[in-house]
Amino acid sequence: MAENVTSLFRSTAAHSPSMAALTRESGDGTGPVDFCIPCNPYFPTPEMFQDMAARLREIITYYPSSAETITAELCELLQLPPQCVAMGNGSTELITWIDHLLVRESLAVPVPTFGRWTDQPMETGKRVDMFPLQESNGFVLDLAQYAEFIRKRGTRVAVICNPNNPDGGFQHRQSLVQFMDAMADLDLVVIDESFLEFADAEEEPSVVQEAMLRPNVVVLRSLGKNFGLHGICFGYLVANPSIAGRIRSMLPKWNLNSFAEHVVFMLKEHSAEYRQSLQQVRRDRAEMAGQLSALPGLTVYPSQGNFLFVRLPLGADGTVVRDRLLTEHRILVRECGNKIGSSSRFLRLVVRPEVDVRRLVSAMEQVLYDNGGNQENQENNAEAGQEGAQQAAGTIAYEIVTRIGTRVPRVYLNEQ
Ligand SMILES: Cc1ncc(COP(=O)(O)O)c(C=O)c1O
C-alpha cells in the first residue's frame, strides 16, 4: 500500500479516514483488511447481498417509503410500540437531535468514548463534564463514582455507552436500573446500546423496556454495526412517547434511504442467520482475545463489544504501529491517541474471522518485536514484560498470567 496513504490520518482529527478514501489512495482499487470499523462481518449473508445487488436498480431509482412505514416494520420485528421509537440516519443523527432538543446546559460522559458524545454538545456550546475511566482500573466504569461526579458538578444530562467504545466495558441491567433511579431528577439519561447486540454477559441486558416507562431516559441503538451495514446509516432510539415524538417531529422527511428500507423489510426472513452471525462474532472475540493476549507486553481489556481495546507494550507508539501495519501489511487498525481519555499506546481492534486474526497477529509480531537487533526496542520489550508481570501481580486482579517461554499470555476471567 502506498506510503502517502498514512497522510489521510493527519487530515481527519476525530475519526479514521473512510474505507472509500483509503481504497482510492491504495492505487490498486482494493482496501486494507479492516480491523478499524466495528462491523459484523457475517451479516448480511452472501445470499442477502446477492439479493440486494440484483435489486440495486429498483432500490436506488425510487424514493423510499416514509420513515413512519420503515419504523413500523422495524417495530413489528422488535416487538416495540412505534410511538416509543424514532429511526434516524444512523444513531449519529439521533445524537445530534438529542443534543439540540434535550441537552440544555451540560452533559456528563465517561471517557474515552465515541467522539460524538463529547464533540456534538461542545459544538452547540454545552458544558461537557468528562468522567475519566482509569487505566489503573482497567477502564472499568464505577457507576457509584460516576453518580457522585455528576452530583458534584451539577450536570443535567448523563450518558452511558453500554458496551463502551473503545474499551468494550459492560454494565449489567440491574446496575443501570439503579443508576436511572438515582438520576430520576436529571433532564435526561441516555443509555447508548449501539453495540449491545454483541454482548453475551447477560441474557437480557437491554434497558429498552425501562426507557419507555420513564420520563427522562432514552436508549439509543445503531443498526449499522450489528447488521454489518455501516454505509446505510440507520439506527433508532426508544423513549417514552413524548420524547420519541419530539425527536421524530424534527427529523427530515425521507431521512431513511431506500437501502435502509429494503434491509429492514428483509430482516424477518433472516433472523436465524442474524442470530448465528452474532454467536460467531462472540466466539471470534474470545478466540481473538486469546491470540492477542499471547503477544508479550500487550494487554487486552475484557470487551462485550465487537472490538478489543489493547494497550501496546511500553515504548510502542500507536501511530507508528498503525502506519506500519497499513503500509507494510495492508491492515487497518484504530489508533486511539485522538480519543479524549486515551493515548497513542492504545489500539481498538475490531473482532474479525480467525483467518484475518492470524494475519493481524503475525503482522503485529513483526511490527512490535522483529526489530532486527535494535537495542532500544529490545530493552523496551523487556521492560514491557516486567510491567506486565507487575500488573498481573496486583493492578488488575482478575488477570491470570501464565508464562510459556518468553510469552506472557493474559486471559481475563470475565472474557467469554
Ligand atoms: C457508542 C456509539 N454510539 C453511536 C455510534 C454511531 O453509530 P451510527 O453508525 O449508527 O451512526 C457509534 C459509532 O461508532 C458509537 O460508537
What's the mean pLDDT in 269-294? Answer: 98
Verify whether ligand 1 is closer than 6 Å to residue 161 (CB atom): yes
The answer to whether residue 116 scores a pLDDT higher than 90 is yes
With beta carbons less than 8 A apart as the criterion, state whether 339 and 116 touch.
Answer: no
pLDDT number for residue 397: 30
Domains along the sequence of the chain with CATH: 3-42+303-412 (3.90.1150.10), 47-270 (3.40.640.10)
With beta carbons less than 8 A apart as the criterion, state whether 385 and 318 touch.
Answer: no
The answer to whether residue 9 scores a pLDDT higher than 90 is no
pLDDT number for residue 290: 98
Q: Convert the pLDDT of each residue in 59-111 to its tens digit.
A: 999 999 999 999 999 999 999 999 999 999 999 999 999 999 999 999 999 99
Mutate to test the pocket of ligand 1, among 36, 40, 89, 92 (most ligand atoms within 8 A of CB): 92
Q: Which long-range contacts (CB under 8 A, 24 or more apart) does 282-287 make?
A: 282/198, 282/200, 282/416, 284/351, 284/352, 284/353, 284/354, 284/357, 285/198, 285/351, 285/415, 285/416, 286/415, 286/416, 287/354, 287/357
Set of cell numbers at residue 213: 416507562
pLDDT bin (cut points 50, 70, 90) of residue 2 is low
What's the mean pLDDT in 205-230? Answer: 97
Looking at the DSSP assignment, which residues form a beta bridge with residue 88?
Answer: 235
Q: What CA–CA distance (Å, rounded) separates 229 from 223?
A: 8
What is the atom index within ligand 1 of the atom nearest the CA of 223?
10
Q: What CA–CA distance (Å, rounded) separates 148 from 117?
A: 20
pLDDT number for residue 308: 98
pLDDT bin (cut points 50, 70, 90) of residue 343 is very high
The answer to whether residue 391 scores a pLDDT higher than 80 is no
Verify whether ligand 1 is closer than 6 Å to residue 356 (CB atom): no
What is the atom index within ligand 1 of the atom nearest the CA of 225?
9
pLDDT bin (cut points 50, 70, 90) of residue 372 is low
What is the atom index within ligand 1 of the atom nearest the CA of 114?
16
Task: Give the containing element (helix H, strand E) for 365.
Answer: helix 354-369
Percent of the chain with pLDDT over 70: 84
Tell how far the Cα of 54 is from the centroid of ligand 1, in angstroms: 29
The answer to whether residue 194 scores a pLDDT higher than 50 is yes
With beta carbons less than 8 A apart as the criterion, state whether 259 and 51 touch.
Answer: no
Q: Identify the sign of the CA torsion 404, 410, 413, 415.
A: negative
User: What residue owns the CA closest to ligand 1's atom 14?
Assistant: 114
What's the mean pLDDT in 333-337? Answer: 97
Mutate to test the pocket of ligand 1, among 36, 37, 91, 119 (most ligand atoms within 8 A of CB): 91
The pTM for the full model equals: 0.86
Tell how far the Cα of 116 is from the centroid of ligand 1, in angstroms: 8
The answer to whether residue 387 scores a pLDDT higher than 60 is no
The answer to whether residue 238 scores a pLDDT higher than 60 is yes
What's the mean pLDDT in 276-287? Answer: 98
User: What residue owns the CA closest to ligand 1's atom 16?
Assistant: 114
Q: Identify the sign of the CA torsion 306, 309, 312, 318.
A: positive
Q: Identify the sign of the CA torsion 375, 379, 385, 391.
A: negative
Tell how far the Cα of 408 is from the centroid of ligand 1, in angstroms: 34
pLDDT number for residue 18: 74
